Amino acid sequence: MYLLMFAFASIGWVSAFTNCEESTVYGTAYKALFEHLGLNKTDVPKTHQLPYFMDPPTEVYVDLYVTSIIEVNEKAQSLSTQVKMMTAWINNMEWQYDQFCGIDAVPATKDMFWTPDIIIKESIKTEFGTKESPYLQLLWWDLSVSVDILALTTACKMDLYRFPFDTQICNITLHSAVHSIDELTIDPFSDNKNITHESKEFFQAQGEWELLSIDASKSNATLLDYLQDLLIYKITIKRRPLLYVINIIIPVFFFLVLDVMSFFIDASGADKLSFKVTLLLSISVLLLILNDTLPSTANAIPLIGIYCSVIFSLIGFSILETILVSFLMAKGAEKRSVENTAAVSGRDDIVRDLHNSPDSVRDQNGMQRSLCWIRVARIIDVTFLVLYLMTIIVFLTMLGKSWVSY
């Protein structure tokens, strides 16, 4: 299978024009080769067949380089790439290159030959990135070579659990449309290292995704009752998370910190509640933008969704606690103020009834009860703060662990 490749390397196309210095001679040789190969025919055969002159299966060699990642659509679970695909296969047209002025490769029109009917299983859309070349290259030792630049959109099962620290593996599966494994086999031309290396070299975009590796592997599938040969390219890409960290994770964390710190805002002040509700509003806006990028999945909700909605809920609960505490405070204050007004009115009436000793006793009782309310409120406040902090620490620790060491 790989023998072919080594053959390439060893021979190395000695494009020597040694014996054909004059251009006219070269032109004649070129013409002669064309006629020798039967490429000057005016009536092209309409029906192409598999090259049946040799032992089946016909061997097709493919190299697929991912030259650009155009778009990764998490909602539609599709991957748009620009790929460069080199296809080579054995034909029955060979010549002695030293007999034809050293011409070792000749271009020919695609229409004249059988070309492999390779289709991509995951493809939702296959378009030629640039205009399709009508030519293929014939090499002197039986090989036809065709190069295409394609804009592919392929379906790709994505796992967004660890978004935006995720790594996705998308397959591009090549197989013949109708031929069984007995008739046609598909093998990689270069080895995996080379493909990954060359893809990275060709790589033209510097967007959100980093190309980690491309791995070719063989498999087969059943069509009707016979087997088909599959060539699977595993494209491993890694998201660059920095902007999401800066734009979502850090702001939401900041809002959480502000919410924790808001415990130190004076509970009686009007600011505290509106401050907290504004935080809630800010997070709910962020939550909805998250809604735009992530699809709805049942199995495992992405960690960033958990992160945002748990922090949303935490702030929500802390608002409820604030309302409760300020309610208790208000109750206490109200009681006290009732006492006070009573006291004040008492002072007003000081002329009339000076000996109102039970009143002052009630006064002190009320004071105590009111202080009791306030004390309860304070205890609740502190207890909640401690629990709140502990919950946050536990939650963030667990989340961080599953985010990193999944």
Q: Which of residues 344-403 bind its own copies (CB under 8 A)?
A: 348
The one among 1, 261, 382, 393 contacting its own copies by CB under 8 A: 261
User: Nearer to its own copies by C-beta: 157 or 218?
Assistant: 157
Q: Which residue has the tokens 């998250």?
A: 290
**Is 58 one of the binding residues for its own copies (CB under 8 A)?**
no
254 forms part of the interface with its own copies (CB under 8 A): yes
Shortest Å, Cβ 327 to its own copies: 4
Helix (H) / strand (E) containing 81: strand 78-94
Q: Please, what sign has the CA dihedral across residues 97, 99, 102, 103?
A: negative
Q: Which stretch binds its own copies (CB under 8 A): 267-275, 374-382, 389-397, 398-406?
A: 267-275
Q: How far is the CB of 391 from its own copies (least distance, A)?
A: 17
Query: Would you count residue 269 as binding its own copies (CB under 8 A)?
Result: yes
Q: How far apart are CA 164 and CA 169, in angstroms?
A: 15
| 304 contacts its own copies (rule: CB under 8 A) | no
- The smaller minimum CB distance to its own copies, of residues 143 and 216, is found at 143
Q: Long-range pairs for 23-30 at CB < 8 Å and ≥24 separation?
A: 25/101, 26/101, 29/100, 29/101, 29/103, 30/100, 30/101, 30/103, 30/106
- Enumerate residues 6+ apart whose C-beta is below 8 A from 220: 181, 227, 228, 229, 230
Stretch that binds its own copies, among 287-295, 376-384, 387-395, 398-406 (CB under 8 A): 287-295
| Least spacing, CB of residue 124 vs its own copies, in Å | 5
> CB 308: neighbour CB atoms within 10 A?
21
CA nearest neighbour of 148 among 137, 164, 159, 157: 137
Stretch 148-167 residues interacting with its own copies (CB under 8 A): 149, 151, 155-159, 164
Site for its own copies in 307-336 (CB under 8 A): 309, 312-313, 316, 319-320, 323-324, 326-327, 330
* Least gap, CB of 250 to its own copies (angstroms): 7
Q: Are 170 and 137 in contact (CB under 8 A)?
A: no
CB of 77 to its own copies, least distance (A): 4
Residue whose structure tokens are 């009834």: 353
- Taking CB under 8 A as the criterion, which residues in 2-31 touch its own copies? 8-9, 12-13, 15, 23, 26-27, 30-31
What would you report as the CA-atom Rg of the chain, rounded to the nearest whole angstrom? Answer: 38
What x/- string results for residues 173 through 192 when contact with its own copies is judged by CB under 8 A? ----xxxx-xx---------
Of 6, 18, 49, 404, which one interacts with its own copies (CB under 8 A)?
49
Q: How far apart are CA 123 and CA 258, in angstroms?
A: 48
Nearer to its own copies by C-beta: 216 or 315? 315
DSSP code, position 234: E
90 touches its own copies (CB under 8 A): no
Which residues pair with residue 137 across a beta bridge?
A: 107, 145
Q: Tell the smallest beta-carbon distance from residue 35 to its own copies (Å).
A: 11
Segment 64 to 83, residues that bind its own copies, using CB under 8 A: 67-68, 70-71, 75-78, 82
CA atoms of 272 and 318, how far apart (whole Å) = 11
Q: Is residue 43 a contact point for its own copies (CB under 8 A)?
A: yes
The only residue of 1, 2, 19, 52 in contact with its own copies, by rule CB under 8 A: 52
Please say whether the beta carbons of 342 and 359 come within 8 A: yes
